[in-house]
Amino acid sequence: MIAVQGEGGDVRELQYLSIAKLDDFYEPSRRKLTDRAVDAEASVLGVSARVALGDGTPTEPTPAERLESVLEHLSEQCWARTWEPAACAHLGLDAWLEFRGPFRYGAAVSDVGYDDRGVFVYASLEEHRCPHRDGEFCPNIELLLCGSMQHVRDHRDHPPTRMGSGSDWLHDMAAELVQREAEGDTAPPEALASANLHDQEFAARSAFSMISHFYRTPGYLRGHARVLCNFPPERLRHRMIVATPLYVEAGVQPAPSTSQVGVPERRRRWWRLPGLRSASHESDTV
C-alpha cells in the first residue's frame, strides 16, 4: 500500500493511483485545472492547489496534494455513487463515479494466447442479498474496473490470470488504456468504437463472471473511476458499469447491521447528478 496524508490528518492507503488521470485535471504550467474538466473546476481546484502549497511557494504540488484537491472537488460534485443505483442509470462515457464495497481483483491476461499486456482488473462482489426473482429487476450494480498493472503498488504479488472465455474485446480495450496512459494520454480508447454494444456487453459480462468468481484476491475497497461503458439491467441481470480508476484505496467494511430480521435497514444517502449546483440531496430512507 502507498500511505498518503489527506486533509484533516486522514491517511489514505492507496493500492492504485493513475498519475496520468491526475495530471489530466491540471495544466502543469499554471498548476491549475485545464478546460478539459467540467465547468468551474479550474477556479475551484486552482484555489485548492494554491492553498495546499502555501503563499509564495514555487514548489510543484505532490501527487498526494493534487489527489486531495481533486477528491474534494469530486466529492462536492458527486456525480454518482454506486450504492445509489438511481444516480448511475444515466452515466455515460467519461462521467465520474464513486465506489466502495467488496471486490476481487488481480492482473489479467487474454483468454486466447494468455497475452500479458499489463492489464489489472477489479470486479465488485455482492454485498447484500440479491432480490432477483423471475420477471423482476434487481437494482444492484456490477462494477468492473480496468486499469494498468504499473499503477498498482503490489502488482508483483498478483500472478496474471486469464480473463475468461469471450472476453477478448475487453482485454484489448483495457490493454489500449494501459498503453495510452503509459504515454500520458487519457482519451477514451478507440476500441470503444470497434465493436457493437452487444459484443461489448458480452465480453464485459464474461470477464466479470471470471474475475468475480475465480480471481484469488478479495478486499473491501473504495475510490473514484471514470465510466467507459454502462450496460442497462435486464431480467435476472444487473446493470453493469465498466470504468477505469483514478485511484483505489483500502476501505473499512461497515459492521453488520443490527436491525431486526425483516426490518429494512435505515440508511442515509447523498448524491448529486451532473449540472446541479444547489445543495446536495440528502434524505433518510426506510
**Identity (one letter) of the amino acid at 41?**
E
Residues 156, 64 within the same domain: no
Q: Which three cell numbers stand for residue 90?
A: 444515466
1-23 residue pLDDT tens: 444 444 444 567 899 999 999 98
Residues 67, 99 within the same domain: no
Residues 222, 93 within the same domain: yes
Residues 100, 30 within the same domain: no
pLDDT category of residue 224 using cuts at 50, 70 and 90: very high
Residue 22 lies in a domain: yes
Q: Which residue has the higher pLDDT, 269 or 158?
A: 158
CA dist 221 → 2, 31, 211 (Å): 14, 30, 16
DSSP state at residue 60: P
Tell me what pLDDT residue 63 has: 80
Global confidence as pTM: 0.75
Residue 286 lies in a domain: no
Residues 122, 174 within the same domain: yes
pLDDT category of residue 280 using cuts at 50, 70 and 90: very low
Count of domains forming the chain: 2
166-207 residue pLDDT tens: 999 999 999 999 999 999 999 999 999 999 999 999 999 999
Q: Mean pLDDT, the chain, as a whole number?
A: 76
**DSSP H or E run through 210:** helix 197-214
Q: Tell me how long the chain is.
A: 286
**Identity (one letter) of the amino acid at 249?**
E
Structural domain range at position 146: 85-253
Q: Which residue has the higher pLDDT, 193 or 65?
A: 193
Q: Can you tell me the distance from the alpha carbon of 74 to that of 66, in angstroms, rounded to the nearest whole number?
A: 12
Residues 94, 215 within the same domain: yes
Most confident by average pLDDT, 27-36, 192-201, 232-241: 192-201
